[in-house]
Structure 1
Amino acid sequence: MTQQPWSAVRETHIGSVFLVGDRAYKLKKPVNFGFLDFTRRETREQVCHKEVALNRRLAPGAYLGVADVTGPDGAVCDHLVVMRRMPDDRRLAKLVRDGVPLRDTIHELARLLARFHEQAERGPAISAQATRDAVRDRWRASFAQVRAFHGTVLDACTGAEIERLAEDFLAGREELFTHRIGAGRVVDGHGDLLADDIFCLDEGPQILDCLEFDDTLRWVDGLDDVAFLAMDLERLGAPELGEELLNEYARFSGDPAPPALRHHYLAYRAFVRVKVACLRHQQGDPAAAELARAYAEITVRHLRRGTVRLILVGGLPASGKSTLAGAIADHLGATVLRSDRVRKELAGFPPEHSAPDEYERGLYTPAHTEQTYAELGRRAEKLLSYGETVVLDASWNSADRRADVIAVSARTHSPLAPLRCWAPETTTAARLASRGNDISDATPEVARRMALDVQPWPGAHTIFTAGTEEDSLIQALAYLG
């Protein structure tokens, strides 16, 4: 362990920390930022005591109590949180920057946070802070504060894109947030998990500095809580550690959250730091502007990656659409809904049941087909509302059926990506002739008749599928962005 200076002073936008010997003393600044107001001494005293009580949940040996500050006349004029001083060289942020192997530490932190959230307080008042509308209100409050810095600290176009992407995600995902509340995922958490405030000691990680000045900012989805630290690890140049943290947290907590929600909370936490950096810039910190821009890049990157999309993969029989749909889903972590499978399920047959027939006969009458596409749309809408990107694998020959899923896309604020698979007739004929155990019942004659009924599909991106699966996927991803 390296020798620390005997004394030092650290500043944040809301307080000062005085490091003296083996103690740290935290003083609250008498500031009012709207989301907190420390201008009254009595408020600062209450917050100091609350800070000690709350932080003892994750660092019981670090928080020693509250000391009064007296003036020359002996009257109390302020208050200090008294802490055991942590060794700087064991700070998680420093270990990350130094390239120290941290996989075991990340696993330990994930286990600790999962257990902390499992034991954390829950209740109606806490859950109310993690509804879709409550999350949106927090975003909007931050938008309002950051807009003043558009064009100076932040690029105005980036700021506008952040607002648009966040609003679109939230507009279509009310059911997702309601489901999270019903599953008990909303807790009285930490609220401000940063690598600078975590110390990796022999007795285990010590997690300091939870949010104490506003309970509602600490009442969050557990994934939202841990995403703050994952985002901070990414900002420090270790995105793989952030991903490992989220994966291990999901394993220890049994949390099946969709990838889109992970990205949304990573973006939200990065934008919180955008706001803080802007406030620090306003206070005269020259380095804060660059930090705000770095956090904004993280924000927009995760909002883009967390966009919930509806992807249509269409084409004639043996055009390679099912192969491409599966490859896209694997790459994006999306859900595939295949018309052949849904059609047989609705008819009460297992997927492998063979039911070939003439064109528009048997299971393939217009009525059966209408029912199949209606069910595809219903299931897709449900999954999209829960934050799952959906790939719909069907022929999509009918303009009316495409119009129905366009409406699903609009209702769930999920961008639509139409992809039309095409291969030469010699290729599709060879594929049809060599098919083995496939759930599709299409015959060469059916394929020929279907080709005569294809309605124009303006706006669809054509994917040439006569090559390898990888070639087709590369083309599709280029369109998907």
Structure 2
Amino acid sequence: MTETEPWAGVRETHSGAVFFAGDRAWKLKKPVDLGFLDFTDRGVRERVCRREAELNRRLAPDVYLGVAAVTGPDGAVCDHLVAMRRMPDDRRLSELVRRGEPLGPVIRSLARLLAVFHGGAHRGLAVDADGTRDAVRARWHASFDQVRPFHGVVLDTTAAKEIESRTDLFLAGREPLFARRIAERRVVDGHGDLIADDIFCLDDGPRVLDCLEFDDRLRHVDGLDDVAFLAMDLERLGAPALAAELLDAYAEFSGDNAPPALRHHYLAYRAFVRVKVACLRHAQGDPAAAELASAYAETTLRHLRAGEVRAVLVGGLPGSGKSTVAARVADALGATLLQSDRIRKEIAGIDPERHVPADYRQGIYTPPWTALTYSELARRSAALLGLGETVVLDASWTSATEREAIAAVARQTGSKLCALRCTAPDDLRERRLATRTGSLSDAGPDVAREMAEDAAPWPSAFPLDTTGTPADTAGIALAHLAPGS
């Protein structure tokens, strides 16, 4: 403790209370049943206290001193307390963030600590079982069930229903992603409850306290899920840049190349966990918790929208600027770019940079070759979308049949289909075709004119005028693709 702190004090949570006295802290479990935990039995409280001390020594061995018995006047044991070394309040990470202190080195130190912790954490079949897509979905649904009585009372019903539908859509198509995370040994016996209030930044390094101890299964999580809780909490404290820095540093130290969509999904999940906690606090008589629950619900929805996996079709006639637009959009979205021109030549065993011009529907541009090209485009898209990767598909997309095949892939993988149809006046397209360099396409003006005659209407696509600068055109495309637009 510091000289400015009171010698004694108490801090209460929904499931416990911490009593401070001098240089010690004593944590009591409340005799409550909250559905997801039941501490009404003293024997359970003792067992959970001992488990808490054991588990938290993994990250803070010098803080957790053991478990003390509480006896009554008759000497009989009536309860148990976790005995801890008291941490200085003014070194809480949450307090440092609120004071606006420079925290770059602290965040990197935390990210390194957590990456090392996860690297050595317990793994196994039982842990893996709790990291499957179905297990993650079950945790979401358990929270949905607990929060549903608060719809229209604490939470906006429309927003709550959108959270449920977006969550289920993401998870429906992402079984390959979660299977890969398990295969990469990313699912561990982690912390489970990383928040800035429970992290203390001392001169000799951070101390991370108060892991989730009452249910092992809730602690069996993807390492990214674990860290996302703290990142979400930093966002709540008004420090989104620190949250992004934490996630980036963790990816660096852990070697984790998870897709952005999974980051957003876990940030949303952790925000919704806090929605649930706030609702429970409201039910316990805390009226201020309603506002907090709504704020966390907004955070949940924002990340679910940002983490939407998309198949973005960028089409148009030769010379319409579609390849330029597709490349810029893919870069901006952090998406994988798939190009029909490149795939077509790969299938034919031709260097993609080599030009093999042919008449319309001749050479490697016959209908069978084209069907094979689009089939491969769909196959690769399905694999990437299932792994949570947004894809940008650069092709002419003049065939309604080919567009429907990709639409089916999007539906099967729970992905959103977006379409941009690049347009430009005929004379501009022909000038581009006559002067372009570095393009993978072999189409010339004659082929472009014949393609225009055969193109099927595409009313569902957003018409994108490409007569402006590439940067301006890409800006318009990205504005159309922005979440919620």
User: Structure 2 length as normaliser, TM-score?
Assistant: 0.98
Give the Cα–Cα distance (whole angstroms) in 2 for the partners of residues 458 and 405 of structure 1.
16
For the pair 1:139 / 2:144, whether they are aligned, the reply is no
Give the distance between the partners of 1:61 and 1:349, measured in 2 at CA.
63
- Residue of structure 1 equivalent to 2:215: 214
CA shift for structure 1 position 458: 2.0
The corresponding residue for 1:28 is 29
| Cα deviation digits, residues 134-165 of structure 1 (max 9, x gap) | 00000000001111111111111110110011
Tell me which residue corresponds to 2:313: 312
- The residue identity in structure 2 corresponding to 1:221 is D
State the 1:2 CA deviation: 5.4
**What CA deviation, in whole Å up to 9, does each residue of 1:73-131 have, x standing for no partner?**
11000000010000000000000010000000000000000000000000000000010
Q: Deviation per CA, 1:411-463, whole angstroms, max 9, x where unpaired?
A: 01111111100011121111111112221111111111111111111211100
1:348 paired with 2:322, answer no
Correspondence for 2:240: 239
Counterpart amino acid of residue 273 in structure 1: R
Looking at structure 1, the residues matched to 84 and 404 of structure 2 have their Cα atoms a distance apart, in angstroms, of 63
1:265: which partner in 2? 266
Q: Which amino acid aligns with 1:199?
A: F
Q: Which digits, 9 at most, give the CA deviation of each residue in 1:240-298, with x for residues without a partner?
A: 10100000100100011000000000000000000001000110112211111111111
Runs (5+) with no aligned partner, structure 1: none
**Deviation string for 1:183-222 (max 9, x for gaps)?**
1000000000000000000111000000000000000000
**Is the contact between residue 2 and residue 89 of structure 1 (CA under 8 Å) also seen in structure 2?**
no
Q: In 2, Cα distance between the equivalents of 1:49 and 1:301?
A: 38
The aligned residue for residue 81 of structure 2 is: 80
Distance 1:87 1:427, change over 3 A: same
Distance 1:436 1:235 in 2: 49
Distance 1:173 1:220 in 2: 16
Q: Secondary structure at the match of 1:130?
A: coil
| RMSD (CA atoms) | 0.8
Aligned twin of 1:41: 42
Q: How many angstroms apart in 1 are the aligned matches of 2:85 and 2:463?
A: 64
**Structure 2: gaps of 5 or more residues:** none
Pairing 1:108-147 to 2, within 5 Å after superposition? 108-147=109-148
Name the structure 1 match of 2:69: 68
User: Within 1, Cα distance between the matches of 2:446 and 2:418?
Assistant: 30
Equivalent position SS for 1:310: strand
CA contact (8 A) 1:315 1:422 kept: yes
User: Is the 8 Å Cα contact of residues 58 and 208 (structure 1) preserved in structure 2?
Assistant: yes
Query: After TM superposition, where is structure 1 displaced by more than 6 Å over at least 4 residues in a row?
Result: none
- Determine the structure 1 residue equivalent to 2:304: 303
SS of 1:60's partner is coil
In the TM superposition, residue 318 of structure 1 has moved relative to its aligned partner by 1.0
Q: Within 1, Cα distance between the matches of 2:350 and 2:14?
A: 64
Matches within 5 A, 1:36-435: 36-435=37-436
Is the 8 Å Cα contact of residues 337 and 376 (structure 1) preserved in structure 2? yes
Q: How far apart in 1 are the matches of 2:318 and 2:240?
A: 42
**What letter matches 1:331 in structure 2?**
A
Letter in 2 for 1:34: G
Identity of aligned residues (%): 66
Structure 1 residue aligned with 2:475: 474
Alpha-carbon distance, 1:475 to partner:
2.1
- Other structure's SS at 1:417 match: strand
Tell me which residue corresponds to 1:12: 13
Q: Secondary structure at the match of 1:190?
A: coil
Which secondary structure state, in structure 2, belongs to the residue aligned with residue 24 of structure 1? strand
The TM-score normalised by the length of structure 1 is 0.99
Moved more, 300-309 or 437-446: 437-446
Matched residue count: 481
